[in-house]
Copies of this chain bind each other. A is one copy, B any other.
Amino acid sequence: MKGAIDFYFDFSSPYAYFAAMEIDKLGEKHGLPVHWRPILLGAIFKKTGAKPLLQTPLKGDYAQHDLERTARLIRLPFALPVNFPFAALAACRAYYWIRREDEGLAKSFAKNIFKAGYQMRLDISDPQTVIDLSSALGLDSGRTGPALQSESVKEELRNEVSFAEQRGVFGSPFFIYEDEPFWGYDRLPTLDAWLTQKGW
A residues near B, CB below 8 A? 44, 47-51, 56-59, 61-62, 65-66, 69, 72-73, 165, 168-171, 181, 183-184, 186-187, 189-190, 193, 200
Contacts and interface: CB of A to CB of B under 8 A. Distances in A.
A186 B51 CA distance: 21
Contact of A62 (B49, B168, B193): B168
B58 A44 contact: yes
Copies of this chain per assembly: 2
A97 to B, nearest CB: 28
A56 B66 contact: no
B62 A181 contact: yes
A61 B187 CA distance: 16
A171 B60 CA distance: 12
A171 to B, nearest CB: 7
A61 B168 contact: yes
Contacts of A189: 189
Contacts of A69: 200
B48 A56 contact: yes
Q: In the A-B complex, list the 9 residue pairs whose CB atoms are closest, starting with the nearest.
A: A58-B170, A186-B186, A59-B170, A48-B57, A72-B200, A47-B57, A48-B56, A48-B58, A58-B168
Given A66-B183, A72-B200, A184-B186, A47 B51 contact: no
Contacts of A187: 186
Contact of A58 (B47, B56, B61): B47
Contacts of A57: 47-49, 170
